[in-house]
Structure 1
Amino acid sequence: MSENTKKASFIKGAAILTAAGLAARVMGFGYRVILTRIIGAEGMGLYQMAYPIYTILLVVSRSGIPVALAKLIADKIAADKKKEAYKIFKVARKMSFVVGLIISIIMALSAKPLISLLSLDPRSYYAVLAISPAIFVVSIMASYRGFFQGLQDMVPTAKSQILEQFIRMITMIGLVVFLVPYGLEFAAAGASFGAVSGAFGGLVVLLIIYSKRKEKIFSFLDEGHDSIELSSKNVIKRIVSLGVPITLGALVMPLMSLVDLVFVPNRLQVAGYMVREATALYGMFAAVAMPLVNFPTIITVSLSASLVPAIAEAYTLGKEKLINYRTQTALRLTVLISLPASAGLFLLAEPLTEIIFSEPGAAVPLRFVSWGVFFIALQQTSTGILNGIGKTSIPARNLLIGAVFNAFINYRLTALPAFGIRGAALGTSIGFAVAAFLNLYYVKKESGFIIDVKTMILKPFVSVILMGFFVKIFYNFLFSFLGRNNVYFAYQITTFTTVAAAAVFYFVTLLLFNEIKYNDLSMIPVVGVKLADLLKKMGFLND
C-alpha cells in the first residue's frame, strides 16, 4: 500500500466513523430532548443515576479488549502474520463472552446494595436493573468491532452504531410514554432498557456482516506467510497486558461521572437545596449540559478509534514520517473542530438549553463546562495516539490525575452557595484540561512530534475570537429584526441561524488563513471531495 493510500485510508476510516457517530449522536440527542420534555429534569436525573454504575461495569467488561484487539491485529497484519491475527480475535471473543456475562449478572444482583452504598435516590433501582443485561451484549459486540477495526475496516462498526442507536431511541421513547403514568421510576427504567435492545440490534448487524464476509476474510488471512505459533495463553496475556491499562484509563471516565453522581446531589444539599431540587440540578448538568458538551466530540472519538490501528501499523513498520503525519492531522483537526464548539456553547448556552431541552436553567452549568469540549477532544485524540504506539498506561494515569483534580474541585465548590452546580461543571473542565495537557506532553516525548504553534494554536484561536464577535453582533441584530412580529419564533430562528452563520464565518476565516487542507474537506461525507475540488480550482485550497 502506498504512503498516500495509507494516509487516505486513515482519513477515510475516521470519516466513516464520524458520519456514523454523527447520525448516532443526532438520534441520541433527539431522544434525550424528547425524554426531558416528557419526564423533566427530575426523571432524567433518575435515568442518569443508572449510567455511572452501568458504564463503570461496562468498561471493566469490554473497553480494553476491542482497543487491544485492534492494535494487536493491526500489528500482526503489518508483519504479515494474518493467521495469528485471527487467532487473537477468536480468543478475545471468548474472553468478552465470559467476562460480559459475569459482570452483567453481578450488576443485576447488586443493584440495591449499590444504590444504598452510594446514597442514591431509591427510585433509581429499576433503571439500574433494567440496563444490566446490556453489559453482556455490548461486550460481545465490542470484540467484533475490535476485529474489523484491526483490519482498518470501519464500515461494520459504523453500521452497527447507527442501528444500535435507532433501536435504542425507538425503545426508550416507546417505553417511557407507556410507563410514565405509573411513575417516574418506571419511566426511567424503560429509558434504561433501550441500551439492551439497541446493543442487541447492533450485535445482530455485526454477526450478519461477519457471516457474509467470512469467506473473503479467510481468503485474506490465508495469504499470510505464518504458521500459528501463538498459544491461547499467550494471547490472553498480551490482551491483558495491553487491555488492563486501557480499561483503567477508560474506567476513569465513568468514575468521574460516579464522583459527580455521589458528590453533586449531596454537596448541593449542603449548599442548602432540597433533595428534589438537588436531583433536578444534577439532571440539568448530567442530562442536559453534558450531552451538549459531548455532541461535538464525536469527530475526535472517531479519530481516536481510527488512530489506534493506523498508528500501530505505522509504528510496527517503523515509519516515523507516517506517524507524524497522522498525529499532526488528528491533533490539528481536533483543535479546529473543538475550539469553535466550546465558544459556541458558551455564547449561546441559554437559547440552546431552552429551545432544545426546555431547561434554560441548564445554561448555568453549560457555560462553565462548555470549554470542556476542547479539553475532552484533545484528551481523546492524544489517547488514541499513545495507545497506537503501545503506551497504554500513560493516558490512563493522566486521566486519573485529571479525575483527582475534578473530584477535589467538585467537592469543595459545589457545596458553596456562590458556586453550587457551577462547581461540578468547573471541576469537569479543569479535570480534562489537566489530562489533555499531560497527554500532549507525552505524545511529544514518545513520538518526537513537534507542535506547529502558528498552525495549531495561533490561527485557530484568532479565528474563534473573530467568530465570537460575529456571533454576538449577528445574534443581536437578527433577533431585534425578527422579534418585532413574533418573539418566540424569532428566538428559535435567530439561535439556529446564528449557529449556521457562525460555522460559515469560521470556515471562511480558516480558508483566508490558509488553514483548511484538501484532505480535511475530503473527510466530509457525500459532498466533501466535490467541495474540496471546487475550492482548489478557485485557488482557496492547497493539498
Structure 2
Amino acid sequence: MMLKLNQNSIFYHCLLLSSSSVILQLLGFGYRILLGRLAGAQAIAVYGLVMSAYNVVLSCTLTGVALSVSRIASSYQALGEGRSIIRLIRTALFLFLGLFCLLAVPFAFCRDFFAQKVLGNPETSTALLLIVPCLFLTGFENVHKAFFYGTGQTFPPTVSETLEMLCRIVGAFCLFSVFAAKSSAPLTDGQAAALIVCGMIFSEIVSATFLTTLYRFRRKKLTGRDGVCLPQVLRDIASVAVPVSLSTLLGRLISSANMILIPRILMRAGSGYDAAMTEFGVLSGMTMPMLMLPSAFLSPLITVLSPRFSAGKVLEDQAMIRRKTGKALHVVGLIGIPSMVILILTGSQLGEVLYHNPTVGNHIPMLSLITLTGFYYAVLECVLESTGLQKRCSVLTVLASLAGLCCTLILGGAFSLGIWGFLCGELLSSLIGCSMTAIWVKKYTQISFRIGNWIGRPLFASVVSGAFARLLLKMMEDLPIFPGLRVVFVISVFFFLYTICLRLLGTDFWKYIEETLLTQAKKDRNFR
C-alpha cells in the first residue's frame, strides 16, 4: 500500500528536514574531508578553539532570542495572532543588534587578550576578529530561520542550510587555492583557521540574504489578529530568552573550557604540543562529526516538535504532548541505537576511507555511548523547555556541564589520564542530564516509559545484526575490494538484518511510521 504523505503532518516535515539533514551531513563530511586535506589536523584544532569562543559569544547575543522566536511564533499562530509575529521578528532583530553592539564589538577589540590568555593560543587572534562579522550575519539568518520553523514552513530553512554548506565548501576551496597560488610559503595554522572563517562569512552572506528576502514576501501572507502589543512581545521574549541565554552561556562557557583543556591535559599526560593539537583536531574535527551523523534524522524531529509542544502547552493539550513525547523517544531508540552500534563496528574503516586517518576510530565506543545518551537528553530537554520549564532545564544544563568539567580536571589533569578524563567527564554530564530530565518528563507529562519497546528491542536487534556484520567484515578484509565499497556493503547488510530482527520482535518500522508519525491534517491544524 502506497504511503500517502500529508503536507500538514509531523511526518512530512520530519521527512523533509531529515532528507535535507542527510544531504547536509554528506556535504559536511565532504567539507571536513576538504579541510583535513587543505588545512590539516593542527589547523582544525586551532579552528576548534576559535569556534569555542564563537559559541560563547553566540549564546550571549543570539541563541535565546532566536529560540524564543520559534516558540512564540508558534504560540501566536495557535492563538490566532498571526499578524503579531511581524512585531515579534522586528523586536527580536533589534534585541539582537543591541546585544551585538554591547558584547560582540568589544570582543573584537580584545581579541589578542582572549587568544593569548583565555584560549592559550596566539594563532587564533586573526580568526577571532573574523567571527564578529560572521556573527552579525548569523543573527539575521537565525532569527528569520526561527520564524519559518515556528510557523511550520520547513522548506525555506532546509534550502538555506544546504545552500550555506555548499557555499562553505566552495569558499574554502577557492580561498585555499588562491592563497596557495599566490604564496610560496605554506600556511600557518592561524592563517588556515582564518581562511576557514572567511569561507563561513561568505556562506552566511548568501544564507542571510536568502532568508531575509524570503521573509519579506512571506510575512504578507500571515493571517489572524495583530493584538499583541510591544510590551507583551518583550515579556514573551524575555520569558524564553533570558533563562535559555543564561543557561546556554554558562553551559557553553563550561563546554568551551572543557574543549580548551583537551590539548593541555594531553600535554600534561605526556604528549608534545604538536601531538596534542593533532589528537585534538582529529577528535573535534573528524571523529565527533562522524558520530553526529544520526542527528540528520533526529534533529529535524526535535525542530518540528518543539513549536508543537509550545502550542500544546498554550492550548492545554496534555495528551498531545504525552503522545508526541513517546514518539520522539521511540524514534531515538530505533535510529540512534543501531547507528552507534554500526559506528563502533566500522569506525576505524570509515575514518580511513573518509579522512585517510585510521586514528579517527580511536575512542569511538566511549564516544558512541556519550552521543546516544546525548540524543535522549536532547529530546527530553526539548519537551521540558517547550512546555514552560526552561529555568529548571537551565539549572540542570549548568550543573551537568560543571560536573563534566570537574571530572575532566580531576581525571584528565590531576590523575594525568589525558583524553580519557575528558571522555569520562562528557559521559557523566550526559548521564546526569538524561536521568534528571527523564524523571521530570515522567512527573509532568505522566508518560509511561516503555523501556522494552523503546530501548530493549532496538538494542537486541542491533547487537544481533552487529554480530553478523562484524563476522562479515572479518571475512571481507582480505578480499580485493575497495575499502569504501566494503564498508557500505557491511552497513547495508547490517541495517537490512536490523529491520528483519525488529520485525521478528514485533516492531514493523515502516508500519510504525505510517501509524504513529503520519498525523492527519485535522490533528495538526492547530499547530500550523
- Report the identity percentage: 19
- CA shift digits 1:21-77 (9 cap, x unpaired): 222222122111111123221121112111000011112211112221222122222
Deviation at 1:413, TM superposition (A): 2.7
Q: Gapped runs of 5+ residues in structure 2? A: 181-185, 519-528
Q: Which moved more, 1:182-191 or 1:4-13?
A: 4-13
Residue of structure 2 aligned with 1:496, choices 488, 496, 500: 488
SS of match in other structure, 1:273: coil
Name the counterpart of 1:228.
227
Provide the rounded CA distance (Å) in 2 between the counterparts of 1:419 and 1:353. Answer: 24
Larger mean Cα displacement after TM superposition, 514-523 or 154-163: 514-523
Task: Give the Cα separation in 2 of the matches to 1:399 and 1:61.
Answer: 19
1:370 aligned onto 2:362:
no
Asked whether the equivalents of residues 21 and 300 of structure 2 are also in contact (C-alpha less than 8 Å), the reply is yes
- Residues 1:28 and 2:40 are matched in the alignment: no
Q: Which residue of 2 aligns with 1:462?
A: 460
1:536 maps to which residue? Answer: none
User: 1:490: how far off?
Assistant: 4.3
- Could you tell me which residue of structure 1 aligns to residue 83 of structure 2? 83
Pairs within 5 Å for 1:403-422: 403-415=401-413, 419-422=417-420
- Name 1:540's counterpart in structure 2: none
**Higher RCO (CA 8 Å, separation ≥ 6 residues):** 2
Question: Are positions 1:510 and 2:510 aligned together?
Answer: no
- Secondary structure of the 1:133 match is helix
Query: In 1, Cα distance between the equivalents of 2:191 and 2:5?
Result: 52
Q: Structure 1 residue 213: deviation in Å? A: 2.5
How many residue pairs align between the two structures? Answer: 509
In structure 1, distance between residues paired with 2:400 and 2:172 = 33
Letter in 2 for 1:207: T
Q: CA deviation at 1:416?
A: 7.4
CA displacement 1:409-432 (0-9 Å, x = unmatched): 222333478842233233223322
Is 1:339–1:373's contact at 8 Å kept on the other side of the alignment? no
Structure 1 517/17 Cα, relative in aligned 2: closer, same or farther at 3 Å? same
> Aligned match of 1:205 in 205, 210, 217?
210
Per-residue CA deviations over 1:1-31 (Å, capped at 9, x if unaligned) read xxx9999622322222222222222212211
| SS at structure 1 position matched to 2:69 | helix
Task: Give the TM-score, by structure 2 length.
Answer: 0.90
- Name the residue aligned to 2:347: 349
Counterparts of 2:450 and 2:240 in 1: how far apart (Å)?
31
Q: In structure 2, do the counterparts of structure 1 residues 310 and 237 end up closer, same or farther at CA, with 3 Å as the change threshold?
A: same
Tell me which amino acid in the other structure corresponds to 2:93.
Answer: R
How many Å apart are 1:358 and its aligned residue?
1.9
Q: CA separation of 1:84/1:213 partners in 2, compared to 1, >3 Å: closer, same or farther?
A: closer
C-alpha distance in 1 between matches for 2:320 and 2:27: 35
> Are residues 415 and 281 of structure 1, via their aligned partners in 2, closer, same or farther at CA, if it must alter by over 3 Å?
farther
- Equivalent residues of 2:49, 2:119 under 8 A apart: no
Q: Give the Cα–Cα distance (whole angstroms) in 1 for the partners of residues 381 and 7 of structure 2.
A: 20
What is the deviation of 1:85? 3.3
Query: TM-score normalized by structure 1?
Result: 0.87
Superposition map of 1:10-25 within 5 A: 10-25=10-25
In structure 1, the partner of 2:428 is: 430
Residue 50 to residue 179, structure 1, CA distance change in 2 (3 Å):
farther
CA offset at residue 520 of structure 1? 5.4
Cross-structure match for 1:444: 442
Q: Secondary structure at the match of 1:213?
A: helix
Change (3 A) 1:187 1:152: same
Distance across 2 between alignment mates of 1:101 and 1:11: 40
Q: Check 1:423–1:12 CA distance in 2 against 1; reply closer, same or farther (3 A cut).
A: same
CA–CA separation in structure 2 for the residues paired with 1:317 and 1:308:
14
Q: Which residue of 2 aligns with 1:121?
A: 121
Q: 2:120 aligns to what SS in structure 1?
A: coil
Task: Find the aligned partners of 1:492 and 1:61 in 2 and give their Cα distance.
Answer: 43
Question: 2:53 maps to what in 1?
Answer: 53
Which residue identity is paired with 1:191? I
Q: Give the equivalent residue in structure 1 for 2:150.
A: 150
The residue aligned with 1:194 is 199
- Taking a change above 3 Å as real, the CA distance of residues 161 and 86 of structure 1, as seen in their structure-2 partners, is same
Counterparts of 1:112 and 1:459, CA distance in 2: 53
Structure 1 unaligned segments of length 5 or more: list them: 530-543
* Counterpart in the other structure of 1:273: 271
Choose from 374, 377, 380 the match for 2:378.
Answer: 380
Quote how far apart the aligned CAs of 1:459 are. Answer: 0.8
Q: Is residue 282–residue 421 contact of structure 1 (8 Å, CA) maintained in 2? A: no
CA distance in 2, matches of 1:177, 1:59: 33
| C-alpha distance in 2 between matches for 1:54 and 1:121 | 15
In the superposition, relative to structure 1, how do residues 162 and 5 fare at CA in structure 2: closer, same or farther (>3 Å)? closer
